[in-house]
Chains A and B, each alone.
Chain A
Amino acid sequence: MSVMIDTGNYIAAKAAVMARPAVVPAYPITPQTTLVEGIANYVKTGEFKGEYICVESEHSAMAACIGASATGVRTFTGTSSHGLLLMHEMLHWAALARLPIVMCNINRVVGPGWNIWTDENDSISQRDTGWIQFYCSSNQEIFDTVIQSFKLAEHEKVQLPVMISYNAFILSHTSMPVYVPDQKDVDNFIPKRIPKWKLDVDNPITFGNIILPAAYEKVRKDMQDSQEYAKKLIPEISKEWKKQFGRHHGDLLELYKCEDAGYILLSMGAIGAESKVSIDNLRKEGIKIGLARVRCFRPFPREEVLKLGKQADLIVIDRNISVGMEGAVFTEVKAALYNNSDAKAYGFIAGLGGKDVTFGDIEKMCKKVVNGKAKQLEWFGFEGV
């Protein structure tokens, strides 16, 4: 094991290369650029021995991932914001084709106007593509999650692509020390991919041709079953990782001081990390509050959230908005509680367009709920919070 001090993107590049993908098709977009540049550098140093394909668009990046993955090899790519949106069609394709592609997405605002700061609307709008979605809160978590994601995606009962999202600049361009395991330990953790299907001249099958309704519905059901299975597998992989490398970032949720909490805050990404400071401060003021950082958004930890709803009222901070409704996590949280809990749930929209959300801001939002002044849905910074 060694320590590497670097930005989220370079850490992701390191993790990706250590996972030994055979093919990495990539297209640059701010703020993902240093990730793909990082991998290009490993091509030069010889550390990355796979094929690096400089494609002409993100749509083609995902198409090339699909093509390569269909030959049975491991693939990786990274993108952000508009790049992710351009991929949208191929994201569905990758998931329906059951190809375990792993991709980093650097959460960046969607234009117009042009804005390269962070919010989660890019990846939240890919919610229904069938991809497993993680949101990271530190560079160490980025590294660990990239490696873990290959194991998850390639598991014979999962066979779905995984997207690892992290915040533009707050993580992508901020240096932190990260423990990097030895290559042989990574190799042991993620052995060579065994594909469930592949393009093979010795077994000529036609994949993806016209499919009738009943058979198609079965494909969808199978994807759902696999996501449900992933809910069980993610904690197992986290446990195995902890056992082997001593680090744990949570399972589908990362719980912090929840045991005796009467209020539990749910948030994702960097706000999740920031929230720990707020929880400590609020507890000093005598408020029994805990944090459940949503690490995995798809599959959504419905059962764990319901468990929290049995003991506490829930406060959700979303750095995204499904316009016409509310924040995406807030919606899911309420759906998890429905019919089974009397907990109250409060939603806040904060930090859109990359607006800073400090621990002080988070404390203000929580206090408004604790003081009984919060409406069910609030925009932080607009309504005198």
Chain B
Amino acid sequence: MAIKNLPREECYLPGSAACPGCPATMALRITFKALGKNTMMIVPACCTAVIESLHPHTSFDIPTMNIAFEAAAAGASGVEAGLRMQGKTDTTVVAWAGDGGTYDIGIQALSGALERGTNFIYICYNNEIYSNTGIQRSGATPYGAWTTTTVGGKTEFRKEMGEIIQAHHIPYAAQTCIAYPEDMYKKLVKAKGIKGPKYIEIMAPCPPGWRFSMEKTVEMGTMAVETGAWALYEVENDKVTFNGKSKLILEKKIERKPIEDWIKHQGRFRHLFKPKKDVKRIKTIEDHIDLIWERYRKRHL
């Protein structure tokens, strides 16, 4: 679907408390358009708890409940059961969490809800850091990235959340990115139509967190995909399909761009370029991405 044909209705209202250039707001806007007004959202501690705006106001036109950091998926299980017991089975229940609330503190509740078969969509908007608390390292932070808790650059690789999700063999899982709203919309609509647990992860480049200029959010998303640092794919009943540029990279129809093209625009990697280029660490990142894509090809081609 072309952007111009997306539903006109906005459930993401003006007056939010987001930073300029915030990727989460883009993701929220498309999510609300895709899922419609018959949706409820459970939000743990994350940027969205601020974006919603301050009590007694709200910038969301769908019922929203905030819950503790690690509790989004369990809260959603409760909401879904409560609605079902009242015969309200047509409402889409969404848990909307950041990467900290998903990869780290919320992983137990998430795994539990997926295993139990809760009929909901768990959406992780991944900005690769604890950004709401002021840019700390998470399990999603990539190798080499500066955060306030990895001052010289992270020394570990990020967790492969997609593989962890796939190990639950749920009916639908997908990775998308804010730079591809049509892809995002399509995946959300598909998830809405499937019963059972669904997981969608949205790559969300964060201007203040990654240290890039606020008008470059979409560009950073595009480059994440084109360099292969992020992959667009969906998993339906264990069948993995790569989408868009990621499909072309997987099939080697195009070369993925060098990782430098992405990281050199982000202040969080500045120490890899100044005062002098850290060839070794840049190569480590590049080799790791190659390794991931080789793994993808071995499994999914």
Contacts and interface: CB of A to CB of B under 8 A. Distances in A.
Interface of A: 22-23, 25, 50-51, 53-57, 59-61, 63-73, 75, 89-90, 93, 199-201, 203-212, 215
Given A55-B112, A56-B109, A59-B109, A209 B53 contact: yes
B66 A207 contact: yes
Nearest to B40: A199
A67 to B, nearest CB: 3
B86 A22 contact: yes
Interface in B42-60: 42, 49-50, 52-56, 58, 60
A208 B76 contact: no
B133 to A, nearest CB: 14
A69 B82 contact: yes
A206 B43 CA distance: 10
Contact of A212 (B42, B55, B76): B55
Interface in B241-284: none
Contact of A67 (B38, B50, B54, B67): B67
B81 interface: yes
A204 B84 CA distance: 18
Contacts of A205: 58, 63-64
Given A60-B112, A210-B55, A211-B54, A204 B63 contact: yes
B67 A93 contact: yes
A90 B82 contact: no
A222 B71 CA distance: 25
Interface in B92-117: 108-109, 111-112, 115-116
B61 interface: yes
Given A67-B77, A206-B53, A210-B52, 9 more contacts: A25-B81, A54-B116, A63-B78, A66-B71, A73-B85, A199-B40, A201-B91, A209-B64, A212-B55
Contacts of A60: 71, 73-74, 77, 108-109, 112
Contacts of B53: 206, 209-210
Given A209-B58, A215-B55, A67 B68 contact: no
Nearest to B70: A59
Given A53-B78, A72-B86, A200-B63, A206 B52 contact: yes
B82 A22 contact: yes
B86 A64 contact: no
Interface in B120-163: none
B78 A69 contact: yes
A265 B299 CA distance: 72
Contacts of A212: 54-55
A199 B80 CA distance: 11
Contacts of A63: 67-68, 71, 74-75, 78, 109
Residue of A67, A72, A75 contacting most chain B CB atoms (<10 Å) = A67
B71 A90 contact: yes
B61 A204 contact: yes
A67 B52 contact: no
